[in-house]
Amino acid sequence: IRDSGPADSTVQFIFYQPIIHRWRETDFFPCSATCGGGYQLTSAECYDLRSNRVVADQYCHYYPENIKPKPKLQECNLDPCPA
């Protein structure tokens, strides 16, 4: 039998903390063109559920289960521009 000595062990305690900051998707930003076809994007912002305010993104990164929504892209103002 081989003795490799005392094993290093780490005990990690995880305490549940309710999520108070959550990602939310923004509305679409204004169209990139007024006619002839353009694009609109959404974004994500970190939202404080207690104060109902947008806060710095770093607060939403504390929660691994809090997944940031991916931006969405859509076409807009597809009508031709007047001559």
Local mean pLDDT, 10-residue blocks, the chain (83 residues)? 59 68 96 98 96 95 88 97 91
For residue 26, the one-letter residue type is T
Q: Are 34 and 77 in contact (CB under 8 A)?
A: yes
Cα end-to-end span (Å), the chain: 90
Angle (CA) 49-51-56 rounded to 5° is 75
Domain ranges of the chain: 21-76
How far is Cα 9 from Cα 2, in angstroms, rounded to an integer? 19
Which residue in the block uniquely carries the two structure tokens 């305010």? 53
Q: What pLDDT shows up at residue 13?
A: 56
How far is Cα 49 from Cα 29, in angstroms, rounded to an integer? 23
